[in-house]
Structure 1
Amino acid sequence: MIGYAAFSELSLSNDSDERGHAAHLAALAYLGHDGSADEQAALYAALIGFLDDTSVKVRAALAYGLLHSDRAPRPVMLALLQDSAVISRAVLQYSPVLIDADLMPVVAQGEASALAAISQRARISPRLVSALLARGERGLVLRVLRRPEVAVSASSLESLSHHWADDAEMRGALLDRADLPGTVRLALVRKVAASLSACRMVRGALAPERLERLVRDGSEGALTAIGEAEAPDRRAGFVSLLVAENEIHTRLLLHAVVSGRVVFFGACLAGLAETSEHKVFSLLESGSSAALSALFDRCGMPGACGRLLVRLVMLARSTDLADDVAARHYVVTTLTEELITEYDGEIPEALEEAFCYLNEQNIALARMAARGVMASFARTVESSRRLPLPGPDEQMQLSVA
C-alpha cells in the first residue's frame, strides 16, 4: 500500500525508475478501483499525465500495467498506440480494448513489425484476417496460416493456394489447416506429387517405374482420404469436381473400399449415378447382386468392372476395412483368387489395371498384417518348441550364381 502523498512524490521524481513505478501503480489502481468517482477521476488524470513523460520507460510501465485489461481507458491506449515502436507493438498485440476500426489503418499502412504484432493477437476477426492476407507478405501469411484457431475464409485459402503453389513451405502451412477445402487440398497434393517426381534427389534414388507407382499410390491414397474427410455439405462439390475431370475410375473405387473409405466410395457412386447418397448407401449395405450390378451399370461401369465391384462390396460387408489390416488382406486375397479362378488365369484386358492394383495391395497388406505376428507367437509358445526345419536330405542347394 502507498499513500497518495507518497505516490505524488514518486510521480514528480527526477528518477525515471521511480516515475515508472508510480505509472505502473496508477494503472493497477485504476483497473482495480471501486471507490468514489472523484478518486477514479484523479487516477484517470494521473494516467493521462504519464503519457507526456519524457522517458520511454515510464510510458512503457504505464502501458504494461494496462495492456491486458478490457477496462483500460481507450484514449490512453490509443495514445500509447502512437508511442514508440516497442510500446506500440505491445499494445497492438495484447490490448483487448482495440477494435477492428483501430487496427485496420495499421494493417493498411503499417510496417512489418506492426503487422506481425496484430497477427499474434488472441483474437483476429475474419475482416482483419482478410486484410492481413491481402498484404501478400510471405512471413505474415505464414504466421496467420500457422494459427489453426484463426478462421480463414475458403476463398482466401483458395487464392493463397494459387498464388503460393510453388512455395513448399507455404504449401505445408496450407495443408496443415483443417479448414482447407477439399478441392484446394487435392490441387496442392498434386502439386507436391509433381514436385517430388521432378526432384533430382528423388529421381536419383528410385527407378522410374517405382517412383511412378509410389507417386500414383500416394496421390490416390491422399485423394480418397480427402474425400472421406470432407464435411457432408462440401463432399458433393468435391466429388462433382472429380466427376467433371473424369478422375473416378475402377482403380480409385477399389482403393477407396480397400482402405476403408466407404463414405467417399458411396459419394463417388452417387455422383456418377446422379442419385442420392442415401439410396446408394442403402444398396451398398443390403442390396442384392442384381441391384448392385444395376447401380454400377448406371455409374458407367458395366460388364467385368461392374462384376468385380459387386464382389468387392459383398466381401466388404462382413469385415471392418477401416481399422482391420488383416480383414483388408483377406478381402484382397479372396478377390484376387476368385478372379484367377473365374477367368482361368486369363484376366480380361478391361480388368488388367484393377488386377495389378489388387496384386500390389496384396503384397503391401501382407507385409502390414505380418508385422509382429512371429514375435507374438514366440512369446506365447513353450520355450522347448523348435522350428520345423527339414532334415539333411531335404535341404535344397542353390545353383552357383
Structure 2
Amino acid sequence: MIVRHFLKWIGNARVSERVAAASALARAFLDHELPFEDRCEAEAALTLLLDDPSSKVRAAMAEVLSLSRHAPAQIVAALAADQADVAGVILIRSPLLTDTDLIDRAASSDGAIQSLIASRPFVSMSLAAAIAEVGELEACLTLLKNDGADVASLSFRRMAERFGGDAQLREAMLVDRRLPSDCRHLLLVRLGEALKQSPLVLALMGPARAERITREACVRASLTLIENTPAQEHAALIEHLRLRGDLTASFLVRTIAHGKVDFLGSVLIALSGQSDRRVRAILASGRDVAVIALFRSAGLADALHRVFLRALKVWREVANGRRVAGAQEVTWLMLKEIGAGPGQAGPAERDREAAALIKSIHLEVLRDNARGHALAIAAA
C-alpha cells in the first residue's frame, strides 16, 4: 500500500517534498516497531528513491541511514557509490561498510572521496595501508591527521616515499610520534633535497655550496635523530641507512665522536652478525684486541681502528663517572691519536682522510659550543 501511493505521488512532487518524504521514510524504516510488511514496503520505496534525479533526495536518505546497523545493505552500498555530496556521510559514518568495501571505493575514487574514507572515526591498519598505497596527497594528509587511524610503519614509509617532497606532508609526518625513525630520516633527506633545489638557495650559494651545506645539515640532523630513536628501532634505521648508502665510515666516525655508542653497538651487531650481548659487553669493557677484532668483523677499515678505540675509551670513562668530556674533547683526542693535533707532525698518509674528517667535526663542535655559550650569556 505504501509503495502504491508513493508511486502515484512522487512523479508530481516538488524536490523539497521528495526530500522530506525520503527522510521520513528512512526514519520509519529504522523504527523497530514498524510491522514487518510495512518495513518491506518502506525498503522498496527507499530503493526506488535511489533513482531520484535530485541528489538532495538521496542525500536526505543517506543522512538518516548513515549511522544505523539496521539500514538496508543494498541501499547503503548504492549511496556509498553515489556522488560525493551523497556518499560523504555514508563513507564517513556507516558501520555496514567493510574494509573491503572501503578499500575498493578508495581504489576507484579521487582524492575527495579518499579523504572522506580516511576521516572515518576508526581506520583499520589494512584500510590505512590501502590509502597510503593508492591515495592521493589530500587523502594521505587526512589520514595522518586522523587520531583514529591505525597506521602501520610500512604505510608511513609508503607515504614518505610517494609524497616526501611535499612540505605539508613532511610537516604532518614529522610531528607524528608514531613515525618510525627510518621514515623520519627519509623525510629529512627529502627536505635537504628540496632546499638545495630551491631557486633562492641556489641564487645565494650556488649549486656546489648548496649541495655541501645541505648534505652536512642532513648528516647532523641524522645524529639528532639517533638521540630520539628508541633502541628497538635502531635495526630499522640502520637497514634504511644501509640501503640508501648512508651508513658510511664517515657517518660512523661522527657517531662515535658524538658519543652515540649505543647506536654504534647496534650498527656493529648488524654488520658483524655477532650477538647483542657479546657486542655490548665488548664495547663496555672489552680489551683492545677484542674491540679491534669486532671492528674488523664489521668491515671497519683498519685505518679507523685507532681513532674509534680512542673515542670509545673516553666515552667509557664518561659513562663510569671517571671523566667529564664532550664531543669537543673527544675529537681533539682522536686527532692527537693519529698525530693531527696542534703541535704534532701531522698524520701519516693513510690517516689524512680521517684526520680531515675529524678536524671538520671538531671545528663544527667548537662553533656549536661557542654559539651555545653566547646564547646563554645573552639570556642571562
TM-score, normalised on structure 2?
0.69
Instruction: Compute the displacement of 1:175 (Å).
Output: 5.8
Instruction: Compute the displacement of 1:357 (Å).
Output: 0.8
In 2, Cα distance between equivalents of 1:340 and 1:76: 75
1:361 to 2:365 alignment: yes
Letter in 1 for 2:201: V
CA contact (8 A) 1:51 1:59 kept: no
1:215 to 2:214 alignment: yes
Unaligned runs of 5+ in 2: 1-5
2:279 is matched with 280
Letter in 1 for 2:329: T
Instruction: Compute the displacement of 1:375 (Å).
Output: 4.4
1:371 to 2:356 alignment: no
CA contact (8 A) 1:100 1:128 kept: yes
1:332 is matched with 327
SS at match of 2:121: coil
Letter in 2 for 1:118: I
Instruction: Compute the displacement of 1:180 (Å).
Output: 6.1
In 1, Cα distance between equivalents of 2:239 and 2:130: 32
1:288-319 deviations in Å (ceiling 9; x for gaps): 55544443354455777333333323333455
1:78 is matched with 77
After superposition, residues 115-130 of structure 1 pair within 5 angstroms as 115-129=114-128
Change in CA separation of 1:124 and 1:243 when aligned onto 2, cut-off 3 Å: closer
In 1, Cα distance between equivalents of 2:81 and 2:297: 68
Letter in 2 for 1:67: S
In 1, Cα distance between equivalents of 2:30 and 2:357: 73
Letter in 1 for 2:272: A
Letter in 2 for 1:68: L
In 1, Cα distance between equivalents of 2:134 and 2:211: 39
In 1, Cα distance between equivalents of 2:240 and 2:55: 58
Aligned residues: 357
In 1, Cα distance between equivalents of 2:256 and 2:31: 63
Change in CA separation of 1:130 and 1:241 when aligned onto 2, cut-off 3 Å: closer
1:352-373 deviations in Å (ceiling 9; x for gaps): 3212212211221332255334
In 2, Cα distance between equivalents of 1:336 and 1:65: 69
1:308 is matched with 307
1:97 to 2:96 alignment: yes
Change in CA separation of 1:155 and 1:249 when aligned onto 2, cut-off 3 Å: closer
1:271-300 deviations in Å (ceiling 9; x for gaps): 343322332222333335554444335445
Letter in 1 for 2:69: D
In 1, Cα distance between equivalents of 2:129 and 2:378: 56
Change in CA separation of 1:134 and 1:292 when aligned onto 2, cut-off 3 Å: closer
1:196 is matched with 195
In 1, Cα distance between equivalents of 2:297 and 2:87: 65
Letter in 2 for 1:363: R
Instruction: Compute the displacement of 1:201 (Å).
Output: 1.1
Letter in 1 for 2:365: Q
CA contact (8 A) 1:30 1:40 kept: no
Change in CA separation of 1:58 and 1:263 when aligned onto 2, cut-off 3 Å: same
SS at match of 1:190: helix
1:202-246 deviations in Å (ceiling 9; x for gaps): 133347786455323322133345556667676435435645776
CA contact (8 A) 2:114 2:135 kept: no
1:269 is matched with 268
Letter in 1 for 2:326: V
Change in CA separation of 1:148 and 1:60 when aligned onto 2, cut-off 3 Å: closer
Change in CA separation of 1:56 and 1:187 when aligned onto 2, cut-off 3 Å: closer
Letter in 2 for 1:223: S
Instruction: Compute the displacement of 1:331 (Å).
Output: 1.7
SS at match of 2:314: helix
SS at match of 2:277: helix
Change in CA separation of 1:170 and 1:61 when aligned onto 2, cut-off 3 Å: closer
Letter in 2 for 1:331: G
Change in CA separation of 1:304 and 1:79 when aligned onto 2, cut-off 3 Å: closer
Q: Which segment is superposed worse, 359-368 or 152-161?
A: 152-161
In 2, Cα distance between equivalents of 1:278 and 1:251: 26
In 2, Cα distance between equivalents of 1:257 and 1:59: 65
Unaligned runs of 5+ in 1: 1-7, 321-326, 377-401
1:398 is matched with none
Instruction: Compute the displacement of 1:105 (Å).
Output: 5.0
2:3 is matched with none
SS at match of 2:326: helix
CA contact (8 A) 1:47 1:62 kept: no
Change in CA separation of 1:363 and 1:83 when aligned onto 2, cut-off 3 Å: closer
CA contact (8 A) 2:23 2:61 kept: yes
CA contact (8 A) 1:227 1:239 kept: no
Change in CA separation of 1:304 and 1:125 when aligned onto 2, cut-off 3 Å: closer
Letter in 1 for 2:306: R
Identity %: 26
